[in-house]
Amino acid sequence: MAGAQQQPPYLHLAELTASQFLEIWKHFDADGNGYIEGKELENFFQELEKARKGSGMMSKSDNFGEKMKEFMQKYDKNSDGKIEMAELAQILPTEENFLLCFRQHVGSSAEFMEAWRKYDTDRSGYIEANELKGFLSDLLKKANRPYDEPKLQEYTQTILRMFDLNGDGKLGLSEMSRTEAATSTSTSWMPC
């Protein structure tokens, strides 16, 4: 049974939801530092290769070191030897990328602070789940992305799980600014 828990989720699927993507991220970023690196990266690459072979996708080389080097050249856009969340979204077949929508519509620090003030409706200094849901709803409307209530709830909960560092169910300014930073490293995710 313990082996089943160690199995990375969903790498074999044709398309991942936001929640599935987050599960994969948390599985491989075992130390929670915001990167898949070192042994985590080796484990991710081995599991990805297994999933690709299972789906009939074969590599050009059989040498693990060569394949991993080729993989990193292709996906490690900033060449830091680590995979960041934005880079992982390029690797995996993610269904949608509402984080990129956030990045495209809140590009500068001034725009970020303007969005913060708009959605912190009770001026508590936090974006609570209902305020975050309103933000995501407006963002998806602005981007002409169809969604329904269950999908909006999934997005809201996914953002909270990703960025609510202290687990209080709301995002503080430092946590919310982390969402902007996490999405600023890449603009090649699925467009809004």
DSSP string, 109-145: HHHHHHHHHHH-TT-SSEEEHHHHHHHHHHHHHHTT-
- Spell out the per-residue pLDDT of the chain, length 192, in tens: 444 445 555 676 667 777 777 788 888 988 888 789 999 999 888 888 887 776 555 555 567 788 888 888 888 888 899 988 777 877 777 655 555 555 555 556 677 777 778 888 898 989 899 998 998 888 788 777 778 899 888 888 887 877 777 888 888 877 766 555 554 443 333 334
Q: Give the predicted TM-score (pTM) of the model.
A: 0.57
Residue 19: other Cβ atoms inside 10 A: 15
Fold for the domain defined by 18-54+62-91: Recoverin; domain 1 (1.10.238)
Residue 75: other Cβ atoms inside 10 A: 13
18-54+62-91 shares its CATH topology with 98-183: yes
Question: Into which CATH architecture does domain 98-183 fall?
Answer: Orthogonal Bundle (1.10)
- The residues spanned by each domain of the chain are 18-54+62-91, 98-183
